[in-house]
Amino acid sequence: MDTLGHLAHGFSVAFTPMNLMWCLLGTTLGTAIGVLPGLGPALTIALLLPITYQVAPEASFILFAGIYYGAMYGGSTTSILLNTPGESATIVTALEGNKMARSGRGGAALATSAIGSFVAGTLGTLGVAFLAPVVVKFALAFGPAEYFSLMVLAFITVSAVLGSSSVRGLTSLFAGFVIGMIGVDLQTGQPRFTFGTSELLDGVDVIIAAVGLFAVGETLYMASRRYAGKDEIVPLKGSLYMTAAEWGRSWKAWLRGAAIGFPIGAMPAGGAEIPTFLSYAIEKKLSKHKEEFGTVGAIEGVAGPEAANNASAAGVLVPMLTLGLPTSATAAIMLSAFQSYGINPGPLLLTTQADLVWGLIASLFIANVILVILNLPLIGLWVRLLKIPAPQLYAGILVFATVGTYGISQSPIDLVILYLLGAAGFLMRRFDFPTAPVIIGMILGPLAETQFRRAMTISNGDWSVFYTHKLSLTLLTLAFIGLAGPHIWAFIEHRRRSGPEHVPGDA
Amino acid sequence: MSTINQPAAPSRLAVPELLVGIGLLACAGAVAWQTLAIPVSPLYSKVGPTVFPYLTMAGLVVLSLLLILAALRGGWQPEEEKETPTDWKAMGFVVIGLVANLLLIRTLGFTASSVIMFVLVCYGFGSKRTLRDALTGLILALAAYFGFARALGVNIGDGFIENQLNAVIDAIIGALGG
């Protein structure tokens, strides 16, 4: 029961008054930004990265983790009452949750999502505590070739499998690679992609990239789409307490959601989209109240996906902490926070930074408790945030974007880069390119390159290392299946339906 | 390759998407140009600093060709998105606000230039109460300035307003301490 000992130690770190305060601050802030449309945990953590210059690593990670979990709770409020999912993972919550709110059961929808998030978040965090040491043992057997292949698998799933189009997802990822390569090559000291300007020698800061893509891009997009019509807030009606019947319908959905969400989140491929959709499909199939789905709103359809979402958010921390492999934009930015402390997440993190990791895990349990308290009785307070008018909200977002960017170096060049990335972010939003793969590519690309070159140096330039090592070959095969599988499947389906008349090339 | 059942549909060419594809191809070109500019020592000929850039460039070329192909086949945007008109005026004011901020932040300082940006962006988004927006922007900018500059020690551009306020605060702290 080594893990229990570590956890006890973690709680002793997390329960200091200062760290509890950071946790409370993070969860409050996280809930607020989760509620506000257009803001997300990745952007918020990016804006707060400068605190890593001032604050101890334990404290800032407790703050970031609070924001991360808090945004999940707050996001469901917006999905249910405004039908505006802040991110792809909460789309499913909006499906049934908003229907419930419209038929006067908004209180119960909010309650089941908050309590379900608590149950799943707690189970997921337990999963992190017990699974992380196991993954570490496995990861210690990894060489550079395996690491590289694992990263390829992560790239493919994060950008190609999860989004709406694999071509556009991969384009975003490759754009991220280009941004990540700007600056001095760490192994040879050669400047790359600097276009001869000395300002680009240090590379593009993660803060600028995240803030440009998420904040400036989003603001430009919202401005350009003012004609698209406003979503109305459904007023909060009915009791916040669930009836016995609603409890009965919810609790199994929470457990199933957590059981689906955590393992998928914990895979090196990660992501919350697949588990939330899967959970929704399962709840719809198992429900005794199928007629409520899509009409008045079925509580299972909120409880299950919301639990899956939170459990997968916890799961994402497993590859991040044990392999240094972020599979979401938020995790990628947290990884860059580790880097700014000079800490490299990987198999040794759990032993070399025991205070940090176990303090962080313990604080996640505390964050879950705080979040249920913040989100059930105080829900009325958060709903008021939705009344902030769009002009002031977006203008304010831009002011904070300036703080985050200009504060790094007081260089107007940084603002120019910010605006250029903002323009790119606008185009991406307009033409339906996902933005998260850019951040993941930017942070993980250089790490993948390092592993790639390390593997090639060890093998004296022999490419076969990537396919003669069994584990590496398996990972690359999985990546290939992830990329080509859906196309091959569609091809076979098409062939079966249309018979031998099939026209090659349109699969 | 039988084309009997395949009606030619060149009329469904999607121009905006095509431009996106071509723009991306141009980006791949810029990557190629900058990769060629990386000096490589012969020692690193196998896995030097150019291998990854070349792989990235190749990937971008393939992806942009696929996007161009998709554009030739009618693009990928849903009808709903295409039919929503772009509000150029609102966007224009946001862009003016951003550029004003960029040009003024050095001379006026963070707070003053933030207020100007705030007002312009609010106006672009349709707010007509300019004076109230200016006040809101001022309060927000000062909160951001003191939150980051004084509490976290992040240096964001000092200007006239910040210097006056800092002097006042230091005087108050001095008076209380003395």
d(CA A346, CA A338): 11
**Same domain, yes or no, for B91 and B153?**
yes
Check if the beta carbon of residue B157 is closer than 8 Å to that of residue B106. yes
Q: How many C-beta atoms lie closer than 10 Å to residue A102's C-beta?
A: 16
Domain contains B6:
no
Question: pLDDT of chain B along its 178 residues, tens only?
Answer: 344 444 444 447 888 899 999 999 999 999 999 888 887 766 655 677 888 899 999 999 999 999 999 999 888 887 777 777 888 999 999 999 999 999 999 888 889 999 999 999 999 998 889 999 999 999 999 888 887 777 766 667 677 777 788 788 888 888 887 5
B87 and A54: CB-CB below 8 Å? no
Residues B137 and B120 in one domain: yes
Mutate to test the interface with A, among B64, B77, B91, B158 (most CBs of A within 10 A): B91
Contact A402 B121 (CB under 8 A): no
Q: Closest approach of chain B CAs to the CA of A472, in angstroms?
A: 19
The answer to whether residues B107 and B68 belong to one domain is no
How many structural domains does chain B have?
2
Residues lower than pLDDT 50 in chain A: 500-507
DSSP-derived 3-state class of residue A429: helix
B125 closest CB neighbour out of A227, A390, A419? A390
In a domain, B2, yes or no: no
Q: Indicate whether B106 and B62 sit together in one domain.
A: no
- Separation between Cα atoms, residue A402 and residue A148, nearest integer Å: 36
Check A167 against B70: CB less than 8 A apart: yes
Q: Any chain B CB within 8 A of the CB of A216?
A: yes
Q: Are residues B89 and B76 in the same domain?
A: no
What pLDDT, on a 0 to 100 scale, did the predictor assign at position A377? 86
Chain B touched by A458 (CB under 8 Å): no
Mutation for A interface: B24, B55, B60, B63, most A CBs within 10 A = B63
What is the number of CB-based contacts under 8 A between chain A and chain B? 206
Quote the Cα angle for A136-A137-A141, to 5°: 100
Q: Is residue B4 in a domain?
A: no
Q: What is the pLDDT of residue A396?
A: 93
B108 and B70 share one domain = no
B-interface mutation test, from A44, A402, A450, most B Cβ less than 10 A away: A402
Chain A residues 218-247 with a CB less than 8 Å from chain B:
219-220, 222-228
* A453 contact B CB<8A: yes
Helix H or strand E encompassing A191: strand A191-192
Whether B122 and B134 share a structural domain: yes
Q: Which residues, numbered 25 to 54 in chain B, qualify as contacts with chain A under a Cβ-Cβ cut-off of 8 Å?
A: 27, 31, 34-35, 38-41, 44, 46-49, 51-53
Collapsed DSSP state (helix, strand, coil) of residue A183: strand
Domain for residue B95, yes or no? yes
Please check whether residue B7 lies inside any domain of the structure. Answer: no
Within 8 A of B121 by CB-CB distance, chain A residues are: 219, 223, 391, 394-395, 398
Domain that holds residue B76: 12-39+47-81
What the block records as the tokens of A397 is 């977002």
The answer to the question of residue B178 being in a domain is no
- Give the separation between CA A257 and CA A298, rounded to whole angstroms: 15
3-state class percentages of chain A: helix first, strand second, coil last, to nearest 5: 75, 0, 25
pTM, two decimal places: 0.88
- Give residue-wise pLDDT tens across range A336-373: 999 889 998 888 888 888 889 999 999 999 999 999 99
Query: Which residue carries 């929503």 as its tokens?
Result: B84
- 3-class state of residue A141 by DSSP: coil
CA quadruple A244, A249, A251, A257: dihedral, nearest 10: -160
Q: Are B76 and B95 members of one domain?
A: no
Question: How much is the pLDDT for A424?
Answer: 96
Q: What type of residue sits at position A442?
A: M
